[in-house]
Amino acid sequence: MSLVAPQVDLLQLGRRGRRDELTQQAQVRRAQPGWGAVAALELACAWLLAGDPVQADLAYVEADLLDPSLALVPDVWGLWPPPAPSAAADHQRQAAQALAERYLSWRHPDPQALWSSVLPQLQADWHRALEPEITDPLLILGRATAGPGAIRLDPPLEPELVHLVADAEIIAEPAASNRYWQLVATVRPGWDLARIRAADLALARGELETSGWLQDPPPEALANPWFHDVSARHAVQRGAVDLALTAWSDAIRAAQSMADSAAMVEVFEQRRREARRGPGVLQVRSLANRGETEAALALLERLLAEDPQWQPLRSLRDQLQTSRAPARHTSASPASASPKAPVPASPPPEPPSTTPDEASPPSPAPAAAMGSLEAFNHLLDRATADLAQLGQAVQGQAGVDPLDGDMARASLDPEAALQELDGLNRRLSDYEARFALA
């Protein structure tokens, strides 16, 4: 069994824009016995696909040095001695000449001729874009027509690429559509729509590592509110709720600068609200459970600043502040003082012998209730009893089944009845908070 690792396809690394891996593979290949003009020309083509013409030219010159008989670099002034006959086999020379021709056509392409040859094949079957025979010309074409002063294609490149794979194709074939839009974003990295769709489709498939189109966005993308929306949803998936809220705020700000954006703003506000009340609460509790109380409170204050009326957030803040108070008291006690602290005149009485569970400070009742089903059912029973009591109070005010005790007296006094109802409402809101945070 051979222990030699299979060689990585250099052209495939170039198509994916993996420049660091391409550099590493070039170093590995040069140290192997099979390195020659063919491999150097393949590396040159890979660098062109990756968008680095300087490295591509260096690899091309290296191929000429490895096999001067190929005459890859012309001797215009006749300064070099005639090359010795090549010792390479005929099939190697043919492969080298084919790669050299491909390199020269890619290094100085005719964009309109290239587009005219590729477009009919794409219109016949957009899946052809995922094959190297079409992928490579598209990558070369995208870079040849980018930047100011570049030639304008007929028909324009971007509208044609959008029409090939629209919403219907994305729904029918999500995996292939994702690969297509990843390619389009590579062809046109400065196109905001391509970046948004590529990142959105990758996020929908849980491929967070391939949604790098959110990094270093061009100005056009930053002006698009949907770019910030995708960034926010990506941040939620990574567990960065604070960054997600900021991104949605940017999305709302960008949308408000556009005409007829009320519906769009409502979508972003709804998603931001769901992130606060769902993943935001979960992240706060996760931080608190790991002992990072200060970080949990900081995030919670951010949530409360945007959602001050939601009772579960206020109840969660009360719980965290209550749990932090015993910790501060314990850290300030003489038992936890540093060795350099002054020793008391008389030693404190020894604490009673307890087990570790008994020695730990008791947690608040709501926090303990969230941990067991019995306590949760007890909260439900109490909430049900309060609702029943509220119903009886209302009936008593209407003259039906008058009550005894405090509720009966409250029913005779409208002000007292309002106060009682307000108290019940606060208690029911607290139950809602406990259920939401359980």
Q: Which two tokens stand for residue 13?
A: 């690394």
Cβ-based neighbours of 274, under 8 Å, separated by 6 or more:
none
Q: Are residue 130 and residue 192 in the same domain, yes or no?
A: yes
Domain span holding position 53: 10-76+89-107
Q: Is residue 424 part of a domain?
A: yes
Q: Are residue 246 and residue 210 in the same domain, yes or no?
A: no
- Of the chain, the percentage scoring pLDDT greater than 70 comes to 71
Q: Quote the pLDDT of residue 319.
A: 84
Q: Are residue 156 and residue 102 in the same domain, yes or no?
A: no
Q: Are residue 40 and residue 67 in the same domain, yes or no?
A: yes
Q: Is residue 199 part of a domain?
A: yes
Residue 7 to residue 58: CA distance in whole angstroms: 22
Q: Are residue 129 and residue 191 in the same domain, yes or no?
A: yes
Q: How many domains does the chain have?
A: 4
Q: Is residue 431 part of a domain?
A: yes
Q: Are residue 53 and residue 132 in the same domain, yes or no?
A: no
Model confidence at 407, pLDDT cuts 50, 70, 90, reads very low
Q: Quote the pLDDT of residue 267.
A: 95
DSSP per residue, 11-61: HHHHHTT-HHHHHHHHHHHHTSTT-SHHHHHHHHHHHHHHT-HHHHHHHHH
Burial 381-417 (b: 16+ CB within 10 A, else e): eebeebeeebebbeebeeeeeebeeebeebbeeeeeb
> What's the pTM value of the predicted model, to 2 decimals?
0.69
Kindly report, residue by residue over 285-302, the tens digit of the pLDDT.
888 888 888 888 899 999
Q: Are residue 240 and residue 321 in the same domain, yes or no?
A: yes
Q: Is residue 362 part of a domain?
A: no
- 359-368 contact pairs (CB < 8 A, 24+): 361/326, 361/330, 363/323, 364/319, 364/322, 364/323, 366/315, 366/319, 366/430, 366/434, 367/319, 367/323
Q: Are residue 136 and residue 196 in the same domain, yes or no?
A: yes
Mean confidence (pLDDT) of the chain:
80
Kindly report, residue by residue over 324-358, the tens digit of the pLDDT.
765 554 544 444 444 434 333 333 444 444 333 43
Q: Are residue 249 and residue 304 in the same domain, yes or no?
A: yes
Burial class (CB in 10 A: 0-12, 13-18, 19+), 285: middle
Q: Are residue 200 and residue 236 in the same domain, yes or no?
A: no
Contact 236, 220 (CB under 8 A): no
Q: Which of 216, 237, 262 is the C-terminal boundary of a domain?
A: 216
Residue with the larger pLDDT of the pair 182 and 210? 182
Model confidence at 426, pLDDT cuts 50, 70, 90, reads low
Q: Are residue 207 and residue 254 in the same domain, yes or no?
A: no
Q: At what angle do helices 405-412 and 414-437 cross, to 10 degrees?
A: 120
Q: Which of 298, 328, 358 is the C-terminal boundary of a domain?
A: 328
